[in-house]
Structure 1
């Protein structure tokens, strides 16, 4: 990703980078409270399967930027823990499609609820103007990041 060269130069990017650990700490605290506890790689895999129901193992490995054998072992652990189901593909029975189980859907729901509670506690300590600015800024940041991702996908397609 290109370095930010706007009017504030690299100072703005450094300020965002310095603030990001507080946000990441909220995500990690929610993950730590999840039952059953899941590792970051397991959580990322569940989120990919949730976003792309029926994804195959090769697609999962690509999304997670892992080699196929590592993604397979990760998937094996998720299947053994009852978090993911393997289903033969509709078009090609040799291909395996991955789906979330009801327990993993509940886990993700609970994780998001906990994360939002943690974030709400922090947001309550901010001024109304600060909260509004944060929401506007994050929405614009998200849109800019999505545009970058869409542009990268279009270039590789």
Structure 2
């Protein structure tokens, strides 16, 4: 991956500032997850998010996205199926291949989770100055694009 630098090269102080701020964002995410999905672990929630993003993903693809071994992903998926969060469907091209889909219950749960997370973030944002909020949103938007250049290229191609 190409490394991007400012006019004077990489700035460790900027990276440290982002690193120092990250726990506040993660705390909001964790508080929302705990409020909405106390029964779901982080790996289970991450699995739901991958399946949401890549409808019909197979177990091997899920394991790769979650950076887990196949047997661990299989057990994780078994728990999500048993809890009614994920549905296994035979593949259309190869019926031996199993595709994973979210259930209506898990879609609702993810919608409520996002709403709760955004409420918690909005509370923090309201304590910031208007200029600070504007700069943060602009910076985070650019940060997200820089972190995933493939998504930025796809957005530019479809725009």
CA RMSD in angstroms comes to 1.9
Shift of 1:138: 0.3
Shift of 1:124: 0.4
SS in 1 for 2:89: strand
* 1:125-136 matched pairs, under 5 angstroms: 125-136=127-138
4+ residue segments displaced more than 2 Å:
1-8, 148-151
Count of aligned residue pairs for this structure pair: 151
2:17 pairs with 1:15: yes
Query: What does residue 67 of structure 2 align with?
Result: 65
**Distance in 1 between the 2:80 and 2:31 partners?**
21
SS in 2 for 1:85: strand
Query: What does residue 140 of structure 2 align with?
Result: 138
Shift of 1:148: 6.8
Query: What does residue 155 of structure 1 align with?
Result: none
Query: What does residue 40 of structure 1 align with?
Result: 42
> Can you give the 5+ residue segments of structure 1 that lack an aligned partner in the other structure?
152-157
Shift of 1:38: 1.1
Query: What does residue 154 of structure 1 align with?
Result: none
Stretch moving more, 138-147 or 5-14: 5-14
What per-residue deviation string (whole Å, max 9, x for no partner) do you get for residues 53-102 of structure 1?
Answer: 10000000011111100000000000000000000111101110000001
**Distance in 1 between the 2:41 and 2:3 partners?**
30
TM-score of the superposed pair, with normalisation by structure 1? 0.89
> Can you give the 5+ residue segments of structure 2 that lack an aligned partner in the other structure?
154-159
Contact 1:86 1:98 in 2 (8 A): yes
Shift of 1:37: 2.9
TM-score of the superposed pair, with normalisation by structure 2? 0.88
Shift of 1:146: 1.1
